[in-house]
Structure 1
Amino acid sequence: MLGLLLAHSALTQVVTFVLRPTTAYRAIELDVPTAWLGALTASFAVVPLVLAVPSGQATDRFGERRVMLAGAVLLLLSAVVLASGRGGAAGLVAGSVVLGTGHLLSVVGQQAAVANTAGPGRFDTAFGHYTFAASLGQALGPALITVAGGEGALPDTRPIFLVAAGIAVLLLACTVVLRFPVRERSGDAAEPGGMGTLLRLPGLLRALTVSCVVLAAVDITLVYLPALGADRGLAAGTVGLLLTLRAAASMTSRFFLGRLVRLTGRRRLMLSSVALAAGTMAAVAVPMPVAGTAALVVLLGLGLGVGQPLTMSWLAEMAPAGLRGRAMSLRLTGNRLGQVLIPSTVGLLAAGVGSAGVLWATAGALALAGAAARRLHVDGP
């Protein structure tokens, strides 16, 4: 079961991380202004922002598999919508909304399954391996841009969308065969005041802030690194390689997360990783040879890889067993809020200075999140 769950995580991210950069390239083909790419990024999170908490409640009540099945169907539908090429910029937004909703349902189900099956004291390792599988998908997704779209500065997007649809079919098949141990599910009347219990967890707001800013930073690299590469005449294959390096570096930090936590503690690891991400995000925007950018992107990936699994393991440890689906959905609500507000805000603030300005503004947001996390207590009891 664990192997299938990790495969499900990887396939979900492959579909998502090939569709999102390709959507950005399609927007560039349609001459969508750079500042509006932030709005396209945010459209991925708008509907999921509203559905995040209800999806957690559905997971606790009906089980992880049913929620993941609905997510897989929507991911397939999004690939079909984007491949159709209809509707211009509005069609891209619609496809991104469906993609974001399918991704949300898949991820909530996956994270609740990990939280409910990991043994005591193994949350850091379990979520490290889970997010390692997610990073594997994030690495493979952009690489498919080169394979299916060619080597030009702007790839042929339709074949890429069709490949993503095929992978979504495989994801759906994987979901159908998944089985989880039968556990007592929470009903509507169970756990009275359960969400209030979660909201009163000490340090929750700071942890959610770090989580949402780090995730928004990953989103921004997916959209604005291709835009930065187009500004500088880099081939799409080169940009795809940079995105793959970022994801592969995140895989490394996540695979060894359990050991890193045992060596340094969650709080120290979180602070150092956010600081590393902020510094390298700012440096990536500076013009330099591709080799230098690649080295910085690796460091950026190492920093960005830690925040998500650390907040997951902390929440899983703190939340009662019957509320873990809702706990993960609450974290995802914060993430989606950040995905809506942060890219749009930095896109507007940096519209006059282009893609590099967006990356600098994102580095500033990471630095502020790191400062807010200085008083965060996420180390286990």
Structure 2
Amino acid sequence: MRSWPWTLLFHALFLQLAAYIVRPAAAYRALELGLEPAFLGLIAASFAVVPLLVAALVGRATDRGREAPVLASGAVMMVAAALGLFLWSSSLALLLFWNVVLGLGHLLSVIGQQSRVARGDPAKLDSAFGLYTFAGSAGQVAGPMFIVAFGGGRLVPDTQALFGACAASSILMLILTAGLVRSRPAFPPADSSAPANFRQAISRAGPDARRQLLGAMLVSMMVLGAVDLIAVYLPALGVERGIPAAAVGLLLALRAVATMASRLFLGVMVRSIGRAELIAASTALSALTVGVLAVPLPVPAMGAVLVLAGVALGIGQPLTMTVISLASPPGTRGTWLALRLSANRFGQSAIPAAVGLVAAATGVGGVFGAAAGGLALVAGLSWWQLRRRNG
């Protein structure tokens, strides 16, 4: 293995570390500013709304071989947003603005990373995406541990220190980006047959491929939406139920560790169970475990539930990347991966906004019940699509 994949893996680690420090930290800062828990969905939506609009354009750029400027722009925006949150986040408007910048930088970085991974050996994509998402999960584990370090026994941690840690992680990612954009991938260059425009890229997929692509995007959207809700609303649930910030940080870290573990063995699980079957089963288990969080539980029981949820939620993301990489026609892989991210960002915008209404009516616990219902619906659709294809 050449040196560049390790650069990419650490790049993914520091990217997700920065994002998963900010997501709960922004929620805590909003609570400090007096925002009601029902409106925390605004924070989650601000991270996703602009990427929702530009993801397809960024995907077209990577299809044309412009990964280097995409990666560089993403890293610069991540640093700018992190420094902005550290220095100027004393109002809700500023908090929302810097979350928008952070979300756009995160999108550019992720599309650049995934486009590189997707151009690997098709027979090894499950393992490749598993390793890539494993590195991202390592950042998701480390992020909540900063809440433990800066929270102690308080209900609300030191948000200024958390934003400073995010800035440090973003700067490290920017340094790695300089090496990453100069390196030459150990796989073929971008496809020269990339369609001239977005409409041609979409029309290249036949009916069966399009069903697979849209199904994978739907699963990915709902799974990531559930992960995002846990990151944003678990701090609010802790405040509502009197759980110290340090315990909340440990719970978030447990979820991320379990996700990491599930991704180490994706290749083996796919060969034993089948890719489509594994996607459907893991989504169903996600629905069950996320729904249990709506019930008042002692902290150790919440930890056990979040471990199971982490395993289940960790499977869907890398496998849907593989499905899209294999089902997309030549020259359109970056576009379809970007559309998957666009669907993810739509979920991150619409789902928190919708469940925020649930929180206003039922309390924070109702958010997890609503998310479980959405996951159950998607799991049912996945099973139906699988039975239809097998039948």
Contact 1:9 1:134 in 2 (8 A): yes
CA shift for structure 1 position 355: 0.7
The separation in 1 between residues aligned to 2:252 and 2:297, in whole angstroms, is 17
Partner of 1:180: 184
State the number of aligned residues.
379
Residue 100 in 1 paired to residue 103 in 2?
Answer: yes
Give the gaps of 5 or more residues in structure 2.
none
Of 134, 148, 152, 2:136 maps to 134
Q: Secondary structure of 1:189's partner?
A: coil
Q: What are the within-5 Å matches in structure 2 for residues 12-161 of structure 1?
A: 12-86=15-89, 88-116=91-119, 118-161=120-163
TM norm structure 2: 0.92
Partner of 1:267: 276
Contact 1:198 1:327 in 2 (8 A): no
Question: Which moves more between the two structures, 277-286 or 219-228?
Answer: 277-286
The separation in 1 between residues aligned to 2:358 and 2:243, in whole angstroms, is 25
CA shift for structure 1 position 189: 3.0
Measured against aligned partners, the alpha-carbon deviations of 1:258-316 in whole angstroms (never above 9, x if no partner) come to: 11000100121111111111111111221121111100000010110011111100111
Give the gaps of 5 or more residues in structure 1.
none
CA shift for structure 1 position 361: 0.6
The separation in 2 between residues aligned to 1:288 and 1:16, in whole angstroms, is 28
Residue 369 in 1 paired to residue 358 in 2?
Answer: no
Q: Counterpart amino acid of 1:183?
A: P
Contact 1:266 1:310 in 2 (8 A): yes
The separation in 2 between residues aligned to 1:184 and 1:365, in whole angstroms, is 36
% identity of equivalent residues:
45
Q: Secondary structure of 2:122's partner?
A: coil
Instruction: Sort the Cα spacing of 1:231 and 1:184 in 2 relative to 1 into closer, same or farther, 3 A.
Output: closer
Q: Secondary structure of 2:34's partner?
A: coil
Residue 11 in 1 paired to residue 29 in 2?
Answer: no
Question: Which moves more between the two structures, 139-148 or 179-188?
Answer: 179-188
Residue 291 in 1 paired to residue 300 in 2?
Answer: yes
Contact 1:150 1:156 in 2 (8 A): no
Q: Secondary structure of 1:121's partner?
A: helix
Cα RMSD after superposing both structures: 2.0
Contact 1:78 1:96 in 2 (8 A): yes
Q: Counterpart amino acid of 1:260?
A: M
Contact 1:350 1:361 in 2 (8 A): no
Residue 193 in 1 paired to residue 200 in 2?
Answer: yes
Residue 215 in 1 paired to residue 224 in 2?
Answer: yes
The separation in 2 between residues aligned to 1:281 and 1:234, in whole angstroms, is 18
Measured against aligned partners, the alpha-carbon deviations of 1:73-117 in whole angstroms (never above 9, x if no partner) come to: 11111111111234511111111111110110000001000001x
The separation in 2 between residues aligned to 1:239 and 1:155, in whole angstroms, is 10
Measured against aligned partners, the alpha-carbon deviations of 1:59-82 in whole angstroms (never above 9, x if no partner) come to: 122432221111111111111111
CA shift for structure 1 position 184: 4.8
Instruction: Sort the Cα spacing of 1:192 and 1:183 in 2 relative to 1 into closer, same or farther, 3 A.
Output: farther
Q: Secondary structure of 2:123's partner?
A: coil
Q: Secondary structure of 1:358's partner?
A: helix
Question: Which moves more between the two structures, 231-240 or 191-200?
Answer: 191-200
Q: After TM superposition, what 4+ stretches of structure 1 lie above 6 angstroms from structure 2? A: none
The separation in 1 between residues aligned to 2:83 and 2:205, in whole angstroms, is 38
Q: Counterpart amino acid of 1:263?
A: S
CA shift for structure 1 position 161: 0.5
